[in-house]
Structure 1
């Protein structure tokens, strides 16, 4: 179900001093096996496309009905700053989530991370070195966000 983070070719993102990922948080970040990642991707993201670059109008992430009101926000300025916390708009969108909510940071169909929401809130800057369209979703939750390499994110509500 899981594989060692050392297996991940870009594991350096979690070992940097800036942004620093504390050892206790690193223990909570799990890299899913390719098989389990594929299942999460199909269940939560897309059963047709394998990478965010390929999303089409048939994928829920592209549908107008899934976009949150005022659902575009800039994340890169906060990422570049000394500010440790996620941008306020993202925190507000996920305000109903408890810190122990299981989240999936989905890069593509073979690369998915599982971790608690509280850990993601502290380590988000490390994850956003992987900014080529990843989608953050919560287990059994409707709220989602897709991060784009242009520094913007889309706040979304998943379809059932």
Structure 2
């Protein structure tokens, strides 16, 4: 796999911001993909044509409403310092902590990490909430966050 050092990642600040810094040992598990690898993963798992969630085609699986079971509010949990991921999300993604996940902001911006790391630091990932999609390696379940504070819970076909 081809990764960028976190120091070179354009959005590194979301993990080092003074209000929510990610501990050093967890930073090591946050791996931004280089553009070529991110584009390949996006093409194979999200869309072969569209560069971001705003321009998905009707043939892309996220555009198919039947793939989404429900929508839940994530913004209230994000704004509450004491609260983790919404319970509905945790129930939907009943994954082991070591499952590899991909947080897909857009075609050239994908971060690989472990489910445990994402659960602990999901608020950092959502500093940018312009339609990112979370998928797991060899898993069908998916999440699609929007900037209105909703997350769709669904399955990839």
- TM-score interval (norm. to shorter): over 0.9
Q: Tell me how far apart the structure 2 counterparts of residues 59 and 155 of structure 1 sit (CA, whole Å).
A: 16
Q: CA deviation at 1:20?
A: 2.9
For 1:144, the equivalent position in structure 2 comes to 142
Q: CA deviation at 1:65?
A: 2.1
Q: Tell me how far apart the structure 2 counterparts of residues 145 and 47 of structure 1 sit (CA, whole Å).
A: 19
Segments of 4+ in structure 1 off by > 6 A? none
For these two proteins, the number of residue pairs brought into alignment is 156
Match of 1:118 among 116, 119, 124: 116
For 1:78, the equivalent position in structure 2 comes to 77
What are structure 2's unaligned runs of at least 5 residues? none
For 1:19, the equivalent position in structure 2 comes to 20
| Superposition TM-score, scaled by structure 1 size | 0.94
1:63–1:136: structure 2 CA closer, same or farther, 3 Å change rule? same
Q: Tell me how far apart the structure 2 counterparts of residues 2 and 20 of structure 1 sit (CA, whole Å).
A: 21
Q: Tell me how far apart the structure 2 counterparts of residues 100 and 44 of structure 1 sit (CA, whole Å).
A: 20
What are structure 1's unaligned runs of at least 5 residues? none
Q: Which moved more, 1:53-62 or 1:115-124?
A: 53-62
Tell me if the contact between 1:38 and 1:110 (Cα under 8 Å) persists in the aligned partners. yes
Tell me if the contact between 1:84 and 1:122 (Cα under 8 Å) persists in the aligned partners. no
Tell me if the contact between 2:30 and 2:111 (Cα under 8 Å) persists in the aligned partners. yes
For 1:67, the equivalent position in structure 2 comes to 68
1:158 maps onto 2:137 in alignment? no
